[in-house]
Structure 1
């Protein structure tokens, strides 16, 4: 251990809190997967669980910004902490919003594209959790970069999925349902776009520190 680390130990709060936020995002994604898989079941409780996770995540982000004002030594640069906190918060916010839409629109029936989007989101946020969990362990830089590449690959798949999903919608006879599903599909794709933004932030952090 360096003498500097003894005199002014690095504040581990940030990495621990980022891991906690990413864990909550994974839990929200699991709930979203359940929501899209069982549309004919009551949706209210699942949406409440996701919204609760979003509130808890918001509080953790608030604590991160408050801690920045008093911390002397941080494991990441201040701009990196700000960008990562914001990008993770954006992922949670859009998951909460799309769940809110699904509940409010009272969708019933089976829509395979919804399930596929939810599965891609689960893959992407799991990669985020793995990448965030390795921050600070710079000897694992290649593994973090691998997670970033996987996130980007999933995002590229989601763009193709959105195109095919929207194209299929225009064969529907119900214009109201078409509008609802198009709105939801676009927001599910936005979840993956926000995940991809997290991947970019993680990749830039790794490049700077290795």
Structure 2
């Protein structure tokens, strides 16, 4: 195995990985906006998930090959895995849309996706600014606000599902989708916390 000197390439790989968050979120929102294109958009989300896995693997390989890393090895590993987890959650949501034969637009899903898209964009900017603690702190605070907004949307969406005399099957499938979307935003907040911790440690 050839060891590399201090490897700054991790920052570029993190930027690429966070870009996969953005594209996955964009395709998933499009899926809920245009369920008639379900198969096409599920495939696009899956392609982003594969790309994120490949980037995460490359990061792990670089950790092993690098004699000196610009951040603690454990922090690099943690941040890469947390970013990858968000993409995995979006892929899981897309797969559920297929399993549940989603064929209608629902405003709560689109509203939650709007928040997730914005959250991923803020995270990506935070990753780009990882060496600037003030910028990362600002991004983390923005993510917290967006996570609270997603929680409120989730609560209303689930409450509306149970209003009146709902179809039990519709409740089951849409509640699981809303659960997954809310979980994805929660995971973004976890990423932001990890990012802020790393940035402060290395400032």
Is the structural similarity TM-score above 0.5?
Answer: yes
Q: Give the equivalent residue in structure 2 for 1:122.
A: 117
Unpaired runs of at least 5, structure 1: 1-7
1:124-169 Cα shifts (integer Å, max 9, x gaps):
0001110111123xxx321111111111111111112111111111
| TM-score, structure 1 normalization | 0.91
Unpaired runs of at least 5, structure 2: none
Q: How does 1:6-45 map to 2 (within 5 A)?
A: 10-39=6-35, 41-45=36-40
1:91 paired with 2:83, answer: no
1:146 paired with 2:146, answer: no
1:8-51 Cα shifts (integer Å, max 9, x gaps):
85312211111001001101111011011112x13101100110
1:72-121 Cα shifts (integer Å, max 9, x gaps):
12111111101101100110100000011112211222311001110000
* Partner Cα separation in structure 1 for residue 139 and residue 167 of structure 2: 40
Local SS of the residue matching 1:42 = helix
Q: CA RMSD in A?
A: 1.3
Local SS of the residue matching 2:155 = helix
After superposing the two structures, state which structure 1 stretch, 167-176 or 49-58, moved more. 167-176
After superposing the two structures, state which structure 1 stretch, 111-120 or 67-76, moved more. 67-76
| TM-score, structure 2 normalization | 0.94
* Partner Cα separation in structure 2 for residue 203 and residue 25 of structure 1: 18
Q: Give the equivalent residue in structure 2 for 1:4.
A: none
* Partner Cα separation in structure 2 for residue 155 and residue 10 of structure 1: 36
Q: Give the equivalent residue in structure 2 for 1:5.
A: none
1:165 to 157, 174, 182: 157
* Partner Cα separation in structure 2 for residue 121 and residue 194 of structure 1: 10
* Partner Cα separation in structure 2 for residue 23 and residue 163 of structure 1: 29
Structure 1 segments of 4+ aligned residues over 4 angstroms from their partners: none
1:178-201 Cα shifts (integer Å, max 9, x gaps):
100000000000000110110000
